[in-house]
Amino acid sequence: MALLFIIGDGNNLYDFTYVENVAHAHVCAERALASGGDVSTKAAGQAYFITNMEPIKFWEFMSQLLDGLGYERPSIKIPAFIMMPIAHLVELTYKVLGPYGMTVPQLTPSRVRLLSCSRTFDSTKAKDRLGYAPVVPLQEGIRRTIDSFSHLTAGSQSKREGPSKASRILGGGKVADTLLWKDLKQTLIAIFILISIYYNFVATGSTVVTALSKALLVASVFLFLHGILPEKIFGYTVEKIPASQFHLSKDSSHDLSLSVISSWNTTVKALRSLCQGNDWSFFFKVVFVLLALSLAGAISLHSIFVIGLPIAFLAFLVYEKKEQEIDSIVVSFKSFACKHKSDVYEKLFGSKKHD
């Protein structure tokens, strides 16, 4: 339920109205119309804006609700001009796949505009002609709203048992803790190291061999200097790196050999299946994988660092937070693909069989 991002700069103002104030405005209107005279004449036949008359930043309002329900406040700001093309793409996808069962998307251009623009209204006319004034202040209305939706608090939601799917995909351990921001210190250290690698080895435009040589040089100098350091410096103990840290045990060597042999046998089996020419599904899978590898090979190391790494540190986090929603989208897409797979196959190869 928690919102992860703020769309826009987060400073757009909104007017909200607590429901009791809306009811009170109707009472004020009835009284004004029933009073007769000039008051009734001025009040009749007019349109009025009814608000709490306390404009507030939209994302501050949402943050207060999330806080009250026990969720984290959104803190990452994404400019609206970045979200708008994505929303248009989602909307276009829905127009194409909607007739085939795709659910209505939550991200649309109209919603991006609503979430990033200011929407305030002047209730002065209602105040002057109807005698309207809010009876429930905004903060009190927020408190009552939170109390009314206590069943949606973070503590009342069913908690996931065991590690998340994102954690299992990453294999658990330090890699998962780093990419999922479980260990903030470890994540920040990893980001710092990657930034250092980027500026020292990638941004300089060095070749792979040169970059690798520089990395080995830095590692060698670090290990040597670390080795000659005394055991204590100003009262702090320097932990030495044991030689066994770099030793490959017999069991590890055996497992590595088995892994290489298994990979080789799998490759041979795949080639044998292709030579038989019967499994079209497997053929298309191989073609797709090879095309993906060829496209990935065309991506420069610079692009991988600039685009790939930030995505890696955000994508798994978003997936962990929105696991059910993303899985439902994937399931819908799979069902759509399976539904039309036979039709496409028939169109491509059915005519050949008849010929």
Give the SS3 label for residue 70: coil
Which positions ≥6 away from 58 have C-beta within 8 Å?
Answer: 12, 13, 14, 115, 119
pLDDT in single tens digits along all 355 residues of the chain:
456 689 999 999 999 999 999 999 999 999 999 988 899 999 999 999 999 999 999 999 999 999 999 888 888 888 888 889 888 988 888 888 777 666 788 888 999 999 999 999 999 999 999 999 999 999 999 999 999 988 888 766 555 566 777 787 777 777 788 888 888 888 888 888 888 888 877 777 767 677 778 878 888 888 888 788 888 777 777 777 777 777 777 887 887 888 888 888 888 887 887 888 777 777 887 888 888 878 777 777 677 777 777 888 888 888 887 887 788 787 777 777 666 656 655 665 555 445 5
* pTM reported for the whole predicted model: 0.49
Which positions ≥6 away from 131 have C-beta within 8 Å?
Answer: 28, 31, 32
Give the SS3 label for residue 76: strand
Does residue 317 contact residue 179 with C-beta atoms inside 8 Å? yes
Give the SS3 label for residue 47: coil
For the chain, domain boundaries: 5-156
C-alpha 13/C-alpha 117 separation (Å) is 8
Q: Which CATH number fits domain 5-156: 3.40.50.720, 3.40.980.10, 3.30.565.60, 3.40.50.300?
A: 3.40.50.720
